[in-house]
Every structure is written in C-alpha cells, then in structure tokens.
Amino acid sequence: MAALKKNRPDCLLIDVTMPDFEPLSAIRQIRADYPTMKILVISAYDDDVYVQGLLGAGVNGYHLKDQPLNDLKLAVQRVLNGERWISSPLVSKLVKFSGMAAASSAPALTNRQRDILSLLQQGLDNQSIARRMSLSVKTVENHLTRLYRQLNVQSRLEAVNYLMQHPETLAVSGQVAAQSNPHVGDSLPNQVTILLVDDNARYRSQLSRMVGKVCPEAIIYDAENIHAAAQLAQRVQPHLALIDVVLGDENGINCTRRIKTLSPLSRVILISAYPDREFHRLGLEAGAVAFLDKKDLDANVLRQVINDVIG
C-alpha cells in the first residue's frame, strides 16, 4: 500500500495469496483508492468462484502461474491497453459459471417488468416510461412498487445500483424467450450467453424469440445503445453479440470496438437492414467476424452461427 501511494504505477501486478492479506477486501480498497490503475492478478489458484470474485472486485486480469512467461508479457500489454485478460484454461469455466449464476440467481420477472427496469436504468422518469410503453403513469408506479419489493430495494437509485451489480436481472433464458412457440425441434443443447444490441425494441424481442427457439438453453441479454451494451459485455462476457449497424444516433461499429475491448473473446456479428460494403469493411476491422443482412437472419442461419460459437 505504501508503494502504491508513493509510486502511483500504471499497473499493479499482484499475487493474492500472501500472509495477512484478505484478497477481496484488499482489491476493493485498492480499486477505490486508484480507480484508473490496472490490476493484474497472478495466482496458482484456478477455482472459478474465486476468480469470479476477484473480477467482480475490480481486477483487470487474472493470470495463472503455470502459463508460459510470454503469456504474462502479453497479459500485461493487454491490460495496459484497456482490455481484460483471463488465462485461457479459465475461460470456459468462467463462461459456464456466469451462465449458471445468471440462470439461477436472477429474480423471475415478466417481459414487461424487464422492459420497465431497462427504461428506469436509462434514467427515464415515470411519465416517460408510461409514454414509451403506452401505459398509464399509475400502472408504471404499481409495477415499480412490485419490482422494488422483488429486488429488495427502496428507491429508483437503489434499483439502478442493483441492476449495475446484477445485469443478469434483465436477462431471459432461451426457453422463456421461445414460449410463444414451445414446440421447437432441432434445438441446440449447449448453454451459450448471447447479447442482442438493436435500438428497435420490437426487433430485439423478435430476435430474442428466434434465438430462444434455436437454443432454449441460451442466456439472452439485450441492449438498445452502446452504453448499455458495454455495461453488459463487461459484466457477463457474452459468447456472441449480434449488433445492428445503426443504433439511433450511434453506430454498431463503435459498439463492436467497445465490446471487443471489454470482452476480447466475444464473437461479434454485425447485422443490418441496409447492407453496405463500407460498413462491412469497417465492421471487420473493428473486430466483427461477419456481417449479415437482417432479411437473411432466419432460424437456420442463427443455428449455424450459435453452433460455430459453441464449437
């Protein structure tokens, strides 16, 4: 702690198994005192719950000691560049862990409740939420009262803070998303975390149902802008992100760059109703692996895309 105060390093490289050292509380304190400093943990422990706790406490990377020294050099470079680093043997365990945690810990909310919470998180007041959802203000107030009770919070601010800490609250399982047509054949059995980014709420809902039919075991998140997408990507590290090129006044290419910075292992596919060769080129340069026309995005294409990700 004295060295941090004196030297103000750009990056802290730290082993967390030391005498008289409680890792989680120490890392939280360091993160609070030095919010812009990068923290890279090196450790012999590969327990996924332990790693998940440290990542949640604010570290930028977790490197296993038994990995090659060249990988440590790369880890430092990546973390200093603003990316998150996780040693490859941990990745599959962490992805499985986060998906299971999201499925088991999230409170059971209706689609309408999730929509209201999402608008609340964006800073809309009750009247604005009512207009956006074609509801009365009184109905919105009643929904929020029940939601606060379910989340065990007392106010809008506490609800927003809860959502920041538990983004899985706004997720929906593929099985639930596909309930409008439960008799689905040829579904994919493996669990996969998918992020849908589109500024059109109706299209996001349609795409979510389609994903759910193809892969009922999926954990599905959705966002309407870059800020919301980045928050989710940092927290849940999705396997796959489907991003519309046009996001209101924003664009999906910038969103792709942001997500690839926060979640380098996520596979990004850009989608658009207006295919453009320049968009295609810029999207691939930003880190997307493919560019699809929305009219071609049917169940068969989604099944192939998700199969590739699982594979």
**Of 62-66, 113-117, 185-189, minimum mean pLDDT range:** 185-189
Residues 304 and 173 in one domain: yes
Return the bridge partners of 222, or none: 196
Q: What is the pLDDT of residues 199-250, one digit of tens each?
A: 888 888 889 888 888 888 788 888 889 988 988 888 788 899 999 998 888 8
C-alpha–C-alpha distance, residues 11 and 80, integer Å = 7
Same domain as 293, residue 173:
yes
Q: Is the same domain home to 72 and 135?
A: no
pLDDT at 233: 87
**What confidence tens digit (pLDDT) does each residue in 138-175 have?**
888 888 888 888 888 888 888 877 777 776 677 665 55
Are 67 and 194 found together in one domain? no
Q: Are strands 193-197 and 219-223 parallel, antiparallel or unpaired?
A: parallel
Query: Residue 218: what pLDDT?
Result: 82
| pLDDT at res. 183 | 37
Domain span holding position 33: 2-86
In a domain, 92, yes or no: no
229 located within any domain: yes
pLDDT value, residue 184: 37
User: Would you say residue 4 has pLDDT above 90?
Assistant: yes
Q: Higher model confidence: residue 122 or residue 74?
A: 74
pLDDT at 7 over 90: yes
Q: Please, what is the average pLDDT of the chain?
A: 80
Which domain CATH number covers 233? 3.40.50.2300
What pLDDT, on a 0 to 100 scale, did the predictor assign at position 171?
67
Summarize pLDDT for 32-67 with one digit per residue, the tens. Answer: 888 889 999 998 887 766 777 787 778 888 898 888
Q: Do 192 and 281 fall within a single domain? A: yes
Same domain? 58 vs 154? no
Note the pLDDT of residue 269.
93
CB atoms within 10 A of CB 300: 11
Evaluate whether residue 104 is within a structural domain. no
Q: Which whole number is the average pLDDT over 288-306?
A: 87
Q: Is the dihedral of CA 26, 87, 255, 105 positive or negative?
A: negative
184 and 152 in a common domain: no
Residue 10 — pLDDT band, cuts 50, 70, 90?
Answer: very high
Both 292 and 194 in one domain: the answer is: yes
Which three-class secondary structure state does DSSP give residue 170?
helix
Query: In this structure, are 42 and 29 located in the same domain?
Result: yes
Domain presence at residue 105: no
Output the pTM of the full model: 0.50
Residue 158 sits in a domain whose CATH number is 1.10.10.10
Question: Could you tell me if 82 and 179 lie in one domain?
Answer: no
pLDDT band at 102 (very low <50, low <70, confident <90, very high): very low
288 — phi, psi (to 5°)?
A: -70, 150
Task: Give the number of domains in the chain.
Answer: 3
pLDDT value for 83:
78
Q: Which H helix or E strand runs over 270?
A: strand 267-272
With bands split at pLDDT 50, 70 and 90, how would you rate the model's confidence at 106? low
Distance CA(174)–CA(161), nearest Å, equals 26
pLDDT for res 2: 92
Pair (193, 283) in one structural domain: yes
pLDDT at position 174: 54
Q: Where are the alpha helices (DSSP H) in the chain?
A: 2-7, 23-33, 48-57, 69-80, 88-105, 111-121, 126-133, 137-151, 156-165, 174-177, 201-214, 226-236, 252-262, 277-286, 299-310
Could you tell me if residue 52 is inside a domain?
A: yes
